[in-house]
Chain A
Amino acid sequence: MIFSTELLIQTVISGLMVGVLYALMALGITFIYSIVKTINWAMGEFYMIGSYIQFVAVHFLLGPRWWWLAALISMAGTFLIGLLLEPILIKPMYSRPMQRRDDYATVVTIALLLLLRSLAVALGGPYQYRPESDLSVIWIGPLPQEGARVAASVCALLALAAFWIVIKKTWIGLALRAAAQNRIAVQTSGVDVYRLDAVAFAIGVALAGLAGALLAPLFMVFPTNGAVTSVKGFEIIVIGGLGSIPGALIGGLLLGLVESLGAAFISSPYQNVYGFLLVILILIVKPNGLFGERGREA
């Protein structure tokens, strides 16, 4: 591979652009963990649901011009599904006396993962779909970028900003931050912590659903399309530290950069390997992740 400044800049830009979308996934995982104290292993399947809703909305209902409306619908749809599923699947972990809560939540979310994948096969078949995109190539300076990719990154940035505003400026955000610190105290303050759990779960999976919707024209729509993205989400959690929101954001950008640089300057077939090398490096140097707290109870 020939080195050139132009290629470097382009690689960095495309790395950061995909990194923002990775960050969306990782933020969802870490946010659910910080409130509900459990890892949602079915995160990739909410990404998958988001991508299917996007495909159906763009292909059958709205047309490619309304891709952004379809993305909002996908996000709202996954939010609602999360809001409905959490009280049924996750809540019993707290509302009933239980010996091994973590084990329960792990088994339930993995079962949910299998159920949702099978459901996708049953409903849509084992095929790949792709929602049409009529976004033209966008020039960033002298450098061309795929339109759908730029659109996805910009929307992901907007979603991150919206998330920040909800968490920092609204009453529900204040309650969520309090619950992340102490579940018991938030209850004795008069807050219904079970409702917060459902909202946090719904917000987290909606971030995954949005990522799925935005990436659908680039990475295709099929029953297991969430697997790779959710693995990246978990890689970022290891890099950034479980439960850390800045960790999810910076970890996402870092992973996007490393993959993109590795693919451009070392060898592109090994793109997915570079992230794991970064994970191994972080585990050696800083086992709790860049922003992880020491001795946190998992």
Chain B
Amino acid sequence: MMAGAPILEAQGLTKRYGGLIANNDVRMTLAPGEIRGLIGPNGAGKTTFVNLLTGLETPDAGSVRLDGTDITGLLPHRIAAQGLVRTFQVSRVFANLTVRENLLVPFLAAGSPGGVREGQDRAAELLDLSTLTPLADELAGVLSGGQRMLLQACAGFMIPAVRVYVLDEPFAGINPVVKDTLIALIQGENVGKGRAFLIVSHEMEIVRRLCPLVTVMIQGRVAAEGTLDEVARRPEVIAAYLGRAAA
């Protein structure tokens, strides 16, 4: 792994919806193996930024590079195949498939030479780590919200090429035990396999534990970058979270 060369590089990303500028010249670089937090008040443009990175929306300006390769404007499945994977804030598991089948979809889509057997092995490993093994052959529709989030996160890890994993609000509204399982899973994949993470979250305690650096977005722009404690002292960040009067 080359130190210095970023694994993910977003430059000048801009997205307008009519008169609203949802993302305005957003730039961010992620080092290989980094776990970055992305925080900001509601409506700051975090999810739009994630959508622009992962191809669900096309930027009006700017570019995204993954490990030096320009992936701007590629279709979502191409971006996923190149190793930039995401989860959704509202979990999008396939409720009509079993938990195990949910994991096989991204694995088989990647067309690994190992085929179904390798996929089954990897699925079994992730099911163990995520404590979902007893539910492996149940329909994903029966899972709780937290379990769905775990399943969604595991599905991303099934893509062998994953280098950058973007998790959009993975900890929102899930119970503490599931939270700890998910944190352990992220740390395991990060330390063991050198995968970089970008975690959008409002849970400051978890962000502090997981992310050495955080990026703050306010009103469609990157407002600050640094450790959580550093950025929390910035007056514009305090103002955005608490209102102008507090600044």
Contacts and interface: CB of A to CB of B under 8 A. Distances in A.
Interface of A: 171, 174-175, 177-178, 180-182, 184-194
A191 B92 contact: no
Contacts of A185: 88, 92-94
Contact of A190 (B77, B96, B102): B77
A174 B120 CA distance: 14
B206 to A, nearest CB: 23
B77 A184 contact: no
B75 A174 contact: no
Interface residues of B, number: 27
Among A171, A181, A189, find the residue whose CB has the most chain B CB atoms closer than 10 A.
Answer: A189
Nearest to A180: B96
Contact of B105 (A180, A184, A186, A194): A186
Interface in B136-170: 155, 159
A184 B152 CA distance: 13
B97 A187 contact: no
B81 A190 contact: yes
Contacts of A189: 77, 80, 105-106, 109, 155, 159
Contacts of A180: 96
Among B56, B77, B92, B95, find the residue whose CB has the most chain A CB atoms closer than 10 A.
Answer: B77
A178 B85 contact: no
A210 to B, nearest CB: 26
Contacts of B24: none
By DSSP majority rule, is chain A's interface helix, strand, loop, or mixed?
Answer: helix
A13 B243 CA distance: 75
Contacts of A175: 105, 108-109
Nearest to A186: B105
A174 B77 contact: no
B86 interface: yes
B110 interface: yes
A188 B77 CA distance: 5
Contacts of B86: 188
B92 A174 contact: no
A175 B104 CA distance: 9
Instruction: Please name the 5 residue pairs, one residue from A and one from B, whose CB atoms are nearest each other, closest first.
Output: A185-B92, A190-B109, A190-B80, A189-B106, A187-B76
Contact of A188 (B56, B96, B104): B56
Contacts of A178: 94, 97, 101-102, 105
Contacts of A182: 92, 94
21 contacts: A171-B116, A174-B108, A175-B108, A175-B109, A181-B97, A182-B92, A182-B94, A184-B56, A184-B88, A185-B94, A186-B105, A188-B54, A188-B80, A188-B92, A189-B80, A189-B105, A190-B77, A190-B80, A190-B81, A191-B109, A194-B75
Contact of B77 (A171, A177, A181, A192): A192
A190 B55 CA distance: 11
A177 B92 contact: no
Given A190-B81, A192-B75, A171 B96 contact: no
Nearest to A184: B92
Nearest to A195: B77
B95 A181 contact: yes
Nearest to A189: B106
Nearest to B84: A188
A215 B159 CA distance: 46
B21 to A, nearest CB: 18
Contacts of A181: 94-97
Among A184, A186, A188, find the residue whose CB has the most chain B CB atoms closer than 10 A.
Answer: A188
Contacts of B56: 184, 187-188
B119 to A, nearest CB: 10
A190 B97 contact: no
B97 A174 contact: yes
A102 to B, nearest CB: 21
Nearest to A193: B77
Contacts of B54: 188
A191 B105 contact: yes
